[in-house]
Amino acid sequence: METQEIINYQRIADAINYIKLNFKEQPNLDEVAEKVNLSPFHFQRLFTDWAGISPKKFLQYLSLDYAKGILKDKQVTLFDTAFETGLSGTGRLHDLFMNIEGMTPAEYKNGGKTLAINYSFAESPFGNIIVASTAKGICYMAFVDEQAKAFSQLQAQFPNAEYMQMVDVIQQNALFIFKKDWSQLSDIKLHLKGTSFQLKVWEALINIPMGSLTTYSSIAKTIQHPAANRAVGSAVGGNPVAFLIPCHRVIKSTGEFGQYHWGSTRKTAMIGWEAAKVSLIE
């Protein structure tokens, strides 16, 4: 049975999808509420509880002008923006990652034969997720629709590992990212299977501050491979850890949000939700 939190997110996702498709017409509260079968009063309250701001304000964060403004005003380079302050000085996930440890060549090549992986399912503001960890850190996180399918996709990442369904401290620390003040969080460590190039891209993604956006070309320049836009795009698309490695903050140079491995509506929701959180602090 779906919990109320997931049902609420699905309603918000439907509203966001409608706003995203029709933002040029600036739909009003009554129109959007009707599309998700809620009264204007209840929709306003539900949306504000979820995002922290009104649907009207959220609409502004989803506009093309917002994205272009962020790119123009804030996104100089990832190196520069990594030092921007947000959320009372704890706005950068990078602050919480003490290290990103790549798997050994043996672990990489043998599909995790020597790894013991714990995994569990949890809720987030953006739907259900699966999160998995080794003794060294988070190795996988993804948004899920079906638990059996999600576990199969995890197994495909590490086909020879040993699995146990359980919640451990490493997972708990990571999941608190959705619920707690980041200044109160324990360090989050990652244990990732990837090439040297992929690890560089994923580390660059972590340096994007909450509420900021970047482009593929900017990441390519930051990791000193300015001609590798396509390879950067592949590495971003292959990100194995949703949200914690914020690939949703990468958009097209035109300002359009573009696609996302776990759904363009979810990406849009994340960008607007994070912009709302930052605006409440500023």
Dump pLDDT digits (tens) for 121-133.
Answer: 998 989 999 999 9
Please tell me the distance from the alpha carbon of residue 25 to that of residue 22, in angstroms, as a whole number. 6
Do 186 and 56 lie in one domain? The reply is no
Name the catalytic one among 62, 247, 250, 275.
Answer: 247
Read off the pLDDT of residues 249-281 as tens digits, 9 standing for 90 and up.
Answer: 998 888 888 889 999 989 988 998 888 877 765
Clarify whether 139 is annotated catalytic. no
pTM for the full predicted model:
0.83
Within a 13 Å sphere around the CA of 177, how many CA atoms are in the beta-carbon half?
A: 28
Q: Are residues 34 and 170 in the same domain?
A: no
Is there a single domain that holds both residue 58 and residue 75? Answer: no
Residue range(s) defining the domain that contains residue 49: 4-62
Pairing assessment for the beta strands 127-133 and 116-124 based on DSSP bridges: antiparallel
Do residues 81 and 209 touch, judged by C-beta distance below 8 A? yes
Q: Give me the chain's average pLDDT, please.
A: 82
Residue 6 burial by Cβ neighbours in a 10 Å radius (0-12, 13-18, 19+): middle
Whether residue 23 sits in one domain with residue 138: no
Sheet arrangement for strand 100-102: 100-102, 190-192, 138-143, 127-133, 116-124, 162-165
* Residue 162: CATH number of its domain: 1.10.10.10
d(Cα 20, Cα 24) in Å, to the nearest integer?
A: 9
